Chain A
């Protein structure tokens, strides 16, 4: 190859190199997002945040000696995960360490409990890509991850909105409220306090459809 031909081919060579680099970067980004999607859709692991918003005396205690490991948060304790948050005076979570192939060590929550002035704020998937907004309060809230249940006791009350286009909101009180986290079903029971369940459903009144008379 002559010198002149070599110089002439330089712009094409550099263009080819640029294209190759761009393809490589694109490939890497695709790989990255595919990996991220796999992690999320697989539901294999999730990040949960535990923190305290109390100004004084708030702390998080980790008892690694115990089996399962105990995490106790005091003073405006908050548990936050992708679907919502629970705030209370005290939060106790028990978890075990588990080695998962390809994912290292993960924790498995055995039980979680919130005590004191508990407030709950969640968004749950309902039919037709809708998300129901659940707001509640009680004195004690237990999470049973095995059965996917959320159990509220101690004068619990709950307000659900966005369940369907017809129901604007539902308010419920009882001695014990159990919510299935898989189906979203709510069960109102008298509980230990023997409080009769009280549910108030507000129906959205739609204006009657206009008909044209000829």
Chain B
């Protein structure tokens, strides 16, 4: 009987020690995780604040939530860029799946979209890459290319690589490159340029 009682006491002691040891381990892990989170958030705040400072300093961009906001200097049109993911290194910002809407008096007059965009803040330049589409609601026109640069200071668009252009259902164009303005009011196709017009009246026989 005595032997049984001593064995039970010993087992209880071992259990208490084991529980205490496990509790200590868990506590240490928790503490480490908390410290890491704190460091990470401090780092993020620092990155975000330095990013915002850079954008405000040169490009006049603002980061609000998941959107970048800015203003086209020449026309005064406002624009906002929505995105899925943002990465930042040096002075270059990269956004994944960007949709940039350019607004005039509250209405969207043009929109850019592509696989990704590199925001060169100092050059005030957005470089869209991969299946880039510039849609002008103002002129019912679409410009497509594999790469497109938009300078938001003066609203100049440069499309490179397999450029195609369409105006309503009446005109389809193609070229190696194109220059245009934000709302496609003026488009210049160069490098093997061609147009196909669908006209209702031409040389009537």
Taking Cβ atoms with an 8 Å cutoff, the residues of A that contact B are: 43-52, 58-65, 69, 71, 73, 81, 83, 93, 95, 97-98, 100, 103-109, 124-125, 143, 145, 148, 150, 181-182
Contacts and interface: CB of A to CB of B under 8 A. Distances in A.
Contacts of A108: 199-201
A49 to B, nearest CB: 6
A64 B184 contact: yes
Contact of B194 (A44, A49, A65): A49
A100 B187 CA distance: 25
Nearest to A181: B203
Contacts, number: 129
Given A97-B168, A105-B168, A107-B170, A51 B204 contact: no
A166 B84 CA distance: 75
Interface string B171-205: 10101000000001111111011111111111111
B139 interface: yes
Interface residues of B, number: 31
A51 B203 CA distance: 18
29 contacts: A45-B199, A46-B202, A47-B196, A47-B199, A48-B197, A49-B194, A51-B193, A59-B189, A60-B195, A62-B165, A62-B167, A64-B139, A64-B141, A64-B167, A64-B184, A64-B187, A69-B167, A73-B195, A95-B170, A104-B169, A104-B170, A105-B168, A105-B170, A106-B198, A107-B171, A108-B200, A109-B202, A145-B201, A181-B205
Given A61-B188, A64-B167, A45 B195 contact: no
A14 B152 CA distance: 65
